[in-house]
């Protein structure tokens, strides 16, 4: 019984965390005028999404920051893409430590 409760709470917290993360990304997408629904974002291949956004919006600083966050959160480790994004952020003086 106690294990079932622990498991339920663990799953609930995980699902809630993922939902809140999705909502935060939807806010970011709205700020850069990229239409995206929660269902679309949840179902999307994040690697493909990052690459598509890079091709379409590589000169927009806010999108570069969004791409960097997506790559961190979804463990996308394309060195070439990382290099390009970081160079774009450096050119715009938007790298924070």
CB 25 within 8 A of CB 63: no
Name the pLDDT band for 97 (thresholds 50, 70, 90): very low
Mean pLDDT (whole number) for 64-79:
96
What does the pLDDT read at residue 41?
Answer: 96
Neighbours of 10 (CB within 10 A): 10
What does the pLDDT read at residue 10?
Answer: 86
Name the pLDDT band for 6 (thresholds 50, 70, 90): confident
Domain boundaries, the chain: 2-91
Under DSSP, the state recorded for 44 is S
Name the pLDDT band for 1 (thresholds 50, 70, 90): low
pTM: 0.83
Query: What length does the chain have?
Result: 97
Neighbours of 65 (CB within 10 A): 19
Mean pLDDT (whole number) for 59-74:
95
């Amino acid at each position: 019984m106690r294990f079932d409760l622990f498991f339920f709470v663990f799953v609930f917290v995980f699902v809630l965390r993922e939902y809140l993360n999705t909502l935060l990304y939807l806010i970011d997408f709205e700020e850069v005028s990229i239409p995206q629904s929660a269902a679309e974002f949840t179902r999307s291949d994040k690697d493909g999404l990052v690459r598509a956004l890079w091709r379409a919006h590589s000169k927009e600083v806010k999108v570069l920051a969004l791409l960097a966050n997506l790559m961190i959160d979804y463990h996308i480790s394309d060195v070439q893409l990382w290099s390009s994004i970081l160079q774009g952020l450096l050119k715009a003086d938007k790298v924070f430590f």
